[in-house]
Chain A
Amino acid sequence: MVEINPILCKSCGYCVRFCPKQVLSIGKTRNKRGFFYPELSDPDNCISCAVCATVCPEGAIELPGKGGENDG
């Protein structure tokens, strides 16, 4: 499942733009640097494809998976 780190987000919108299932949306809360960060608005339809993590310039989105530690 997608994990979003609000501190790293700069609200570019790439994750929302490229999500194939449109399960992400820019939220209404600002992080401490003033950026509105995304939220998983439709978690039931998230397919954990990692496209959001792929396009995030800051690496603010992670998909930990089942195994936990992942060196990649």
Chain B
Amino acid sequence: MAEYKRSNLIADAPSGYCPGCLHSLATRLVSDVICELGQEDNSINVISVGCSALNLLYWKGDFLGVAHGRAPASATGIKRTNPERLVFTYQGDGDLAAIGLAEIVSAANRGENFTVIFANNQTYGMTGGQLAPTTLIGQKTTTTVYGRDPAVAGYPMRMCELLNTLEAPQYIARFALNSPKGINQARAGIKKAFEYQLAGKGFTFIELLTNCPTNWKMSPLDTLEYMNENTIPYFKPGVYRDKEAEVK
């Protein structure tokens, strides 16, 4: 018989996220894992700009709100000066893969010992559903009203694969949050990433495939099907890098 109790790292109130938004599920998963590891008082959430910033009102542990895209740079300073703390950034795809591309690649390349939680919903949610670097080919947004055309807007960026070309990262994995199986795999992956960080191993990166019912203009349940049919075939879930497993 399973047990579940909501973690006390998130507010005892509804989140600021839209109904069915998997950002709130991602936040809850991270908070659950931190509590499971007994790190409630030791964690620092580095919150960037975008829908991820709704965590500013929702997260009850230590956190820092930082400049758009610069969470990996801020987390570098926080972790280097507080090496005993569990430091992680919480970023969306517009934040991490567009404006913050230099910061994430540089931090990963340096092998900084913190964890990046990357929620990829393939759009700029908070600003009204514009094209993001991760928007799928043909996906309609407010700035690609006929769907993304690679001749004009390029191709969707796969961040796990991109970072997997670097030497330093210790753990890189992508999980889809549109099914109980994917959620449980994500929980295990986040836990592993945090454990690697606590062991001082180095940079860990977790990409979570999420949805945006409001800007995709679908019901929450329809977004889950859309993810199965469109998102997951392009952004394939899996563990891309696990240096400890390679050693074994």
* With A8-B14, A10-B20, A57-B17 as contacts: A62 and B6 at CB distance below 8 Å: yes
B132 within 8 A of A: no
Contact between chains at B20 and A33 (CB < 8 Å):
no
Q: Give per-residue flags for A18-41: 1 if the beta carbon is below 8 A from chain B beta carbons, else 0.
A: 100000000000000101000000
Contact between chains at B13 and A71 (CB < 8 Å):
no
CB proximity to A under 8 Å, residues B189-225: 213, 219-221, 224
Partner of A10, one of B2, B5, B14, B179: B14
Partner of A55, one of B5, B6, B183: B183
Separation in Å of the B188 CB from the closest CB of chain A?
12
**A53 cross-chain contacts in B, Cβ below 8 A:** 2, 4
Partner of B28, one of A10, A58, A69: A58
Separation in Å of the B22 CB from the closest CB of chain A?
6
Separation in Å of the A52 CB from the closest CB of chain B?
9
Partner of A72, one of B5, B23, B179: B5
* With A13-B221, A72-B35 as contacts: A18 and B180 at CB distance below 8 Å: yes
Interface size on A, residues (CB 8 A): 33
Contact between chains at B24 and A58 (CB < 8 Å):
yes
**B25 cross-chain contacts in A, Cβ below 8 A:** 55-57
Contact between chains at B1 and A59 (CB < 8 Å):
no
Partner of B2, one of A7, A17, A50, A67: A50
Contact between chains at A72 and B32 (CB < 8 Å):
yes
B21 within 8 A of A: yes
* With A33-B14, A57-B20 as contacts: A67 and B3 at CB distance below 8 Å: yes
CB proximity to A under 8 Å, residues B1-50: 1-7, 10, 13-15, 17-25, 28, 32, 35-36, 38
In angstroms, Cα B219 to Cα A34, docked, is 17
12 interchain pairs, CB-CB under 8 A: A11-B19, A13-B221, A50-B2, A50-B4, A55-B183, A57-B21, A57-B28, A63-B1, A65-B3, A72-B5, A72-B7, A72-B32
**Told that A17-B221, A50-B2, A63-B1 touch, could you supply 14 new A-B pairs with CB distance under 8 A?**
A12-B221, A14-B220, A49-B2, A53-B2, A54-B180, A57-B28, A58-B24, A61-B4, A63-B4, A65-B1, A65-B2, A65-B3, A69-B5, A72-B5
